[in-house]
């Protein structure tokens, strides 16, 4: 994985220039781009809606029980599903625990997945391409005229 450092108003922020290798190759370009699967199909936002989650293997197997079954990657996926073992995906994005962030609130406000995650539909492998540092988030809030008070994103306790 390669990194590039972006100079931002509040300091340095790291952005990846290529994604980590995953335990099972997954192409967002194929699934979200070519096949036009909606993000929420594989990344549901269960209540209370702060985090988007990764699809359970049953969701993958709904199609892959019959599609590309001769692929070693799909065979690995199918074996994990059969044995009720999770796939240990390598996280690309992580929100610090001291930040109160809600995907659901951002989507309800009219933001898109692409706003923070970039052109996922063009990516074979995901990498962190947006500046999700505090400075990057504040710049987005400023541009979209969203709350700028510290307590908007941080617990004041």
Q: pLDDT band at 3, cuts 50/70/90?
A: very low
pLDDT at 12: 41
pLDDT at 46: 86
**DSSP bridge partners of 8:** 11
Q: 0.85 cut: is pTM over it?
A: no
pLDDT at 15: 53
User: Which tens digits make up the pLDDT trace of 16-28?
Assistant: 567 899 999 999 9
Eight-state DSSP code of residue 150: G
- Provide DSSP, 71-114: SHHHHHHHHHHHTT----PPPS----TTS---HHHHHHTT--HH
Asked if the model's pLDDT at residue 64 lies above 70, the reply is yes
Element counts in the chain: helices (H) and strands (E): 7, 2
């Amino acid at each position: 994985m390669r990194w590039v450092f972006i100079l931002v108003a509040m300091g340095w922020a790291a952005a990846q220039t290529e994604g980590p290798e995953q335990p099972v190759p997954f192409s967002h370009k194929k699934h979200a781009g070519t096949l036009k699967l909606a993000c929420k199909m594989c990344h549901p936002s269960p209540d209370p809606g702060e985090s988007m989650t990764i699809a359970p293997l049953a969701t993958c197997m709904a199609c892959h029980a019959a599609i590309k079954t001769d692929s070693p990657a799909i065979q690995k996926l199918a074996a994990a599903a059969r044995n009720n073992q999770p796939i240990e995906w390598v996280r690309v994005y992580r929100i610090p625990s001291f930040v109160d962030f809600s995907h659901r609130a951002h989507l309800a406000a009219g933001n898109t997945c692409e706003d923070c995650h970039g052109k996922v539909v063009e990516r074979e492998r995901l990498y962190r391409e947006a500046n999700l540092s505090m400075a990057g988030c504040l710049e987005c809030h400023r541009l979209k005229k969203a709350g700028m008070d510290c307590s908007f994103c941080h617990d004041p306790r």
